[in-house]
Amino acid sequence: GAGGQAAGERRRQQEASVCVLPCWKATSAAMSDAPPPEADPAAAAGGEGAPPAEEKPKRGKPKDPNAPPKPKNAFQRVTGEARARLKEAKPELATDLKAMGLALKEEWDKVPQEEKDRMTAEYEKEMEIWRPKWAAYKETEGYKEFFELKQDWIDARMKKKLVKKYAKEAPKRPKSGYMIFAGEIRERVADEVAKAGGGMGDIGKKISEEWQAVSEAKKAEYAEQSARQKEVFDVEYAKYKLTDSYKNFMEEKAKMESKQLQKKLMRTKLRGAPKKAPGPFALFRSEVMADVVRENKGLKTGELAKKVGELWKAVPDDKKVEYQKRADVLKEEYDKKLTEFRRDKIYSTFLKERMRVKLKENKQVNLWDAPKKPKSVFALYAEKHKQEVPAGKGEGKGVSALKQKFSQASEEEKKALEEQAKNLKEKYMQDVREFKESDKYKQYEKTDKAIQRELSTAGLKVLTVKFLNAAPPQPPKSPFAVFVSEKRKASAEPEGAKKSKEAKREEVVGFTKEWAKLDKPSKAAYESTYKDKMKEWEAEVKAFMAQDIWKEYLAEAKEFKVPVTNLLAQRASALRQLSGGVGLPERPEAMPARPPDAYKVFSEEKSPEVDGDKEQLLKMWEGMSVEDKAKYFTEASKLQQEYDKQMAEFKKTDEGKNYFRDVSRILRVKKVKRAKEVYLKDMPKMPPSALKVFMAKEMAELKKTSPLMKGFEAKKLAEEKWKTMDPADKQKLEQEAEEALQAYRDKMAEFKKTTEFTKFTRAKLTSAPPAKPTGAPVKPLSALRAYMKEMQGLGKKREELEKDFNELPEADKNARLEKAKELQNKYAEELAEFRKTPEFKTYQKFQFLHQKRTNCTLAKYKFCADAPKKPAAAIMLFMGDKRKDIMRDHPELKGTQVLGKASELWNAMSPEERGPWLQKEKEAKDVYNKKMEEFKNSENYKAYMKVVNRYQKGKAKAKGAGKGKGKGKAPDAGQAPKGPEYRDRAKERRELKGEYETIAQEFENHGEVSVEQSKYLGGDMAHTHLVKGLDFALLSKVRTEITKQQKAEELQEQRKQRKAGLDKKKRFETPLGKRVYFSVVETMHPHHVSFKKRMQNMTKALALGQRIRGAPSTFLPGRMAYEFDTGMSQGSSDIPRTIFASKEDAPKVDMSKRVAPILIETV
């Protein structure tokens, strides 16, 4: 670049010595009759009156003026000197580049070979000096800035090449008036300039001068020609935009721009990133490359690389190990520097900007064919009338004038435009639905998710390095982890010694065996240590989260769209959350705390003696005899009894009932989950589909043949292979998959007959039995069980405790047996008294119902699995057929709104229009009834009815004691008071007897009631209201007669009280209290004369978006709304649905508005 600049400077000096004025200037002055314009002497002399010379932007490839000038080779030296000489001798070569190139080649061929060699040798010496200077200059900021300038120029050139590539098929752009004029005179001007010795630039200057001399009328003619060309171009270009060529051009352009921007971001934002550490081969190559180049001059880069590769193969293995060690050290240093660089904010900025570039490319490539949003009513009006207003911006021009004109437009025109806009919007919505089904939109969504996932993954790494690594280290994850940690500390192994995975696994297995041998108090000690460590860690974490670094983390996590890591979340709860499990509810504060066991009582007593050394306490406990430990077990038993009493009282409270109800619900979920793990572990697994089998096989083969291939690339190739697969081979795979699926179904049918599946079904379908009523006596423990409960803290097995009980001293053992016998006798007396209470009878009834529900449900699940399904009603069949049509015609409807619309259409249909679906319903019912008759004759149905009939027969017994132990004797049915005799009201209603004679006559008067009132009487518009109407009328009549007298008495009493209240004068102790009452209390009454006016003012204030002082956040503007069902069908509710939005989703209040958008009169 520097050599070219020097040559250009020398050429300009030579031209200045030959001619003072440019040649085309002299020629123009000679050809023109008028004298040349006089030059300003001040400007010529460069005096004070001369305007500052404007630096003209340079064209062509940018050059770096600060770079060390590169030496010229022999060819450049010869041609640089000859170029000026040839241009002076032959001026026509200045405009003929090809001829100039041939002339320079002739000059080069005239130079003797000895002279060429001499100049080449000088060039090599100068290059040896230049190369270190160039390497040092490349590290400066000046070079990096110039490189960006140069790369921008290269990128722009690449875009021009792309445009030029596709411009062949595109219509030619219309020429401006000036370009049409220039095309007419260019040939003549070029000849004149060539004769005068001018260059390419002189031609443009000459044309510009002649254009300035053209009259305005002539310029208007050229402008008219340009406008006609523009009209033709617009039509042709609109057609061209629909071609595949234009589509390909836009896609390539978007991808090119995205690629260039991403590279620019990497060059500018990652400029301070550390250089990647070299590997062993790269270190070796840097050492030998200079010698290889020196010995093999003239070889290309690829051949030099082969030479270095051959030398690397010859290096011995011990030498390669040394290179590897050096590379590992450099890699560690690089990783540290990279971690530090990722902490910098500039790296986070790079990730976000790169994501924005990729998202923009994804939209431009995949959403280019997306339907364009239709024009609004005003936009349609503006397009139609834009020629009627003056162009420009400001008052009375352009958009402003169109808005004024639109406000004065007629209602007919506005309605026509509204209808047109509505049709355009419907077409747009239809186009959008179709576009969303296309492959392009699916590719857009897939790419968008991949980009977001890439940012989240990179952001998570940044946040971990930048913030989470500074958080307090995680504590042991369980009491067993504390045990393992202490064992490892006690071992003689050096700290930080690395072990293999196998060694660690064997070590943990050994620790697990030792842990299993510990007794319960020992494990409780480790549990206590674990809880203490967790509390310390939680305190450290809370202190860490109170710092500013945590606030920065939250802000950046929101920007990266990464979920905030909860540092206080326990590992077990996190795993439960990931697996879909639910933890137990939080313990209420009023709930009594569980008392300490025997070991904790011992620790509290002995801890001061050993200064809280937990290991010493554990050794002391393990060394004590059973007799010494009995003291602590007795004290722990007393504490447990007090706890049981407090817990019984807590369970009676509302808080306790709610807590244990939630616990019961969650335990049921866990019970089903546990049942799946236990009973369904041998359940057959569903086989994969044909596509999954093919994909797994193909991807495994691709991984073997191409180990460096990425997973997504292998998946893409496998999918393409599946699509282009021979139909016969594909059918074979699908047939094999179908056979495997059928085999799975057969195995599943067999598995459902097993005991394991029956146990799972019972666990899934059975519910908890009814809770025992309050006040029911609790069955006492036997002597053995009471002893085992006292000694449960020893960690002994059942057999060992039974042996210890039998070996007790005779007096102690007899005393325990006698005490248990007394408790059992007392319990029998209390139970006999409790069985006489109504609570016990109610409890027995609930027990019977629970047993009936459980067994009938199990029987139905077991025997009625093959029962025919009840057919859908006619309206449901209609909804199924019309659902897609309704969603297509009304895209704004969602969910239940679609069903509401279908119900509205169904209600509006006549019986003849409903005929096809009613016929389908009838046919389906006939088929169902036939299948049901067949099923009722099967053995399964008989087995099911046998279970049901068992409880139907035993229903009367369930009210009493029934059979079985402890259930008591059934009470005599004759003791119950006799109720009123049974009346067959259905028969009376059918025959219109008794009360129904007058009701039937009254109902005739309901023939003219409206449909809205009719829906409360039952039936519909096409059927009679008689059946439900009589019931409703009878019910209303009975209620009216019962409450008429009561209401009359209440109204009379209210009138008396109101009259008595009016007679009393209000008395006030202070004048302030009187003023407060009349200004606030009395005026706030709804019957006050100003109440309506104040409510209107308040409504206007709410419509303006103002918030009432002291009002809860629920009433923020836009947060609460009511949804009304405008297409109510018969039987639906007309009660609106209340919808609450979050504070963040509520619209912001615009306090600048002076007028309410919705006035009270329009609400």
3-state secondary structure 528-558: HHHHHHHHHHHHHHHHHHCCHHHHHHHHHHH
pLDDT of 1115 strictly over 50? yes
**Contacts of the segment 941-945: beta carbons below 8 A, 24+ positions apart:** 941/863, 941/864, 941/867, 943/859, 943/863, 944/859, 944/860, 944/862, 944/863, 944/864
Out of 5-19, 212-226, 692-706, the most confident range is 212-226
Out of 321-335, 655-669, 753-767, 993-1007, the most confident range is 321-335
Lowest-confidence pick of 533-547, 930-944, 979-993: 979-993
- Give the per-residue pLDDT at 11: 38
- Give the per-residue pLDDT at 31: 32
Residue 990 CB-density burial (10 A; 0-12 exposed, 13-18 middle, 19+ buried)? exposed
* The two structure tokens encoding residue 630: 């009995």
The closest alpha carbon to 375, from 387, 384, 365, belongs to 384
**What is the C-alpha separation between 581 and 573, in angstroms, rounded?**
8
1121: helix, coil or strand?
strand
Structure confidence at residue 966 as a pLDDT band (50, 70, 90): very low
Structure confidence at residue 57 as a pLDDT band (50, 70, 90): low
Q: How do residues 570-628 score in pLDDT, each as one tens digit? A: 433 433 433 344 566 777 777 888 888 777 888 888 888 887 777 777 778 767 776 77
pLDDT of 108 strictly over 60? yes
pLDDT of 1016 strictly over 50? no
Q: How do residues 394-427 score in pLDDT, each as one tens digit? A: 888 888 888 888 888 888 888 899 999 999 999 9
> Measuring CA to CA, how many Å separate 437 from each of 112, 261, 442, 987, 1055?
74, 31, 7, 60, 70
The closest alpha carbon to 875, from 913, 842, 903, belongs to 903
Structure confidence at residue 1128 as a pLDDT band (50, 70, 90): very low
pLDDT of 1037 strictly over 50? yes
- Give the per-residue pLDDT at 985: 59
Structure confidence at residue 347 as a pLDDT band (50, 70, 90): confident
pLDDT of 1024 strictly over 70? no
pLDDT of 208 strictly over 50? yes
Asked if 629 contacts 598 with a C-beta cutoff of 8 angstroms, the reply is: yes
- Give the per-residue pLDDT at 1080: 58
- CB burial readout 704-728, b (16+ within 10 A) else e: eeeeeeeeeebeeebeeeeeeeeee
* The two structure tokens encoding residue 580: 């879909």
pLDDT of 634 strictly over 70? yes
Structure confidence at residue 1158 as a pLDDT band (50, 70, 90): very low
**Contacts of the segment 604-612: beta carbons below 8 A, 24+ positions apart:** 605/632
Element (H, E) at 1137: strand 1137-1140
Structure confidence at residue 7 as a pLDDT band (50, 70, 90): very low
Structure confidence at residue 1010 as a pLDDT band (50, 70, 90): very low
- Give the per-residue pLDDT at 1136: 60
pLDDT of 341 strictly over 60? yes
Beta bridge partners of 1121: 1139
Structure confidence at residue 1143 as a pLDDT band (50, 70, 90): low
List of E strands, 616-736: none
**What is the C-alpha separation between 853 and 767, in angstroms, rounded?**
9
- Give the per-residue pLDDT at 1157: 39
Lowest-confidence pick of 67-76, 199-208, 1021-1030: 1021-1030
- Give the per-residue pLDDT at 964: 39
pLDDT of 1034 strictly over 70? no
The mean per-residue pLDDT over the stretch 932-954 comes to: 82
pLDDT of 19 strictly over 60? no
Structure confidence at residue 1011 as a pLDDT band (50, 70, 90): very low
**What is the C-alpha separation between 170 and 180, in angstroms, rounded?**
20
Lowest-confidence pick of 43-52, 165-174, 489-498, 818-827: 43-52
Q: Average pLDDT over the chain, rounded to whole?
A: 76
The mean per-residue pLDDT over the stretch 1124-1151 comes to: 55
pLDDT of 993 strictly over 80? no
The mean per-residue pLDDT over the stretch 1128-1153 comes to: 54
Those residues with Cβ within 8 angstroms of residue 28's Cβ, 6 or more apart along the chain or in another chain: 36, 196, 206, 209
- Give the per-residue pLDDT at 1019: 40
pLDDT of 649 strictly over 70? yes
- Give the per-residue pLDDT at 176: 92
3-state DSSP of 958-997: HHCCCCCCCCCCCCCHHHCCCCCCCCCHHHHHHHCCCCHH
The mean per-residue pLDDT over the stretch 516-524 comes to: 76
**What is the C-alpha separation between 909 and 915, in angstroms, rounded?**
10
- Give the per-residue pLDDT at 714: 82
**Rounded to 5°, angle at Cα 637 from 632 and 639:** 100
- pTM here? 0.45
- Give the per-residue pLDDT at 1061: 55
